[in-house]
Amino acid sequence: MDRLQPVDEAWSRALAVVAHPDDMEYGAAAAVARWTAQGKTVAYCLVTSGEAGIDSMPPEEARPVREREQREAAALVGVSAVEFLGHPDGMLEYGLPLRRDIARAIRRHRPEVVIMTNHHPTFEGGGLNQADHIAVGQAVIDAVRDAANRWVFRELLTEGLEPWNGVRMVLASGSPYARHGVDVTDHFAAGVASLKAHAAYLKGLGDAHPMADAEEFLEAMARATGTRLGCRFAAAFEVIEFG
């Protein structure tokens, strides 16, 4: 595997936009813990509430549970601003409504960096990605441009949201095209605690699921990535530059 380059950390505000509660916690949360410890501001925007993610729990019961667990998980890595867009879990469609809602969030938070998860059809190693992740990832990339264009989604202007063209890069975690990394050695434990906060979700996976053991799963991934960056533990990102 090629050696990773360090992610540029010369910024102060980031917005993470992902499909589900727990998406940030599979690797990226430890990097968020590092960044908030540096004094950076990171906000979370969840497109769905993950209400279809627990087989034994009806969506109307799962929604408040998963939202609560996501807020708890975010707090453990220094994130206090967590919002949910309310799109239907498992049935996301790429299109104008999704782009508009993400562009709205970008204009409201005015980040320099947007964080998302892998938007490619597969993960490294060939495992298939999930449809919601793909739809949200592509919508995030396009919404960065939409947020900067005064004449796209003009209704946002009537809401008092002026265009924002300050996004310098999008960081995609879990991408098979990751060429950059973040040393999370000192913040790995916070990342593990953040994933463990999704207790109901992890229990729903069952003991036999490879992701059910949060610490073992994250350690294997972070250690392999750390080898590529030259540290003990690291998180990998695909960097998509703007401007």
Residue 125 is predicted with a pLDDT of: 79
Helix ranges (H only) for 38-111 are 59-75, 96-109
CB count, 10 Å around CB of 208? 6
Does pLDDT of 40 surpass 90? yes
Q: Mean pLDDT over residues 99-123, rounded?
A: 97
> Would strands 5-6 and 180-183 be described as parallel, antiparallel, or unpaired?
parallel
pLDDT digits (tens, 9 = 90+) for 47-68: 999 999 999 999 999 999 999 9
What pTM was estimated for this model as a whole? 0.97
Residue 210 is predicted with a pLDDT of: 74
Residue 1 is predicted with a pLDDT of: 65
Number of domain units in the chain: 1
Of the candidates 148, 223, 144, 147, the one whose C-alpha atom is nearest the C-alpha of residue 183 is: 223
Does pLDDT of 243 surpass 80? no
Q: Mean pLDDT over residues 228-233, rounded?
A: 98
CATH code for the domain of 35: 3.40.50.10320
Question: Above pLDDT 70, what percent of the chain?
Answer: 100
Expressed as residue numbers, the domain containing 223 is: 5-241
Q: Mean pLDDT over residues 99-112, rounded?
A: 98
Question: Above pLDDT 90, what percent of the chain?
Answer: 91
CB count, 10 Å around CB of 97? 12
Does pLDDT of 201 surpass 70? yes
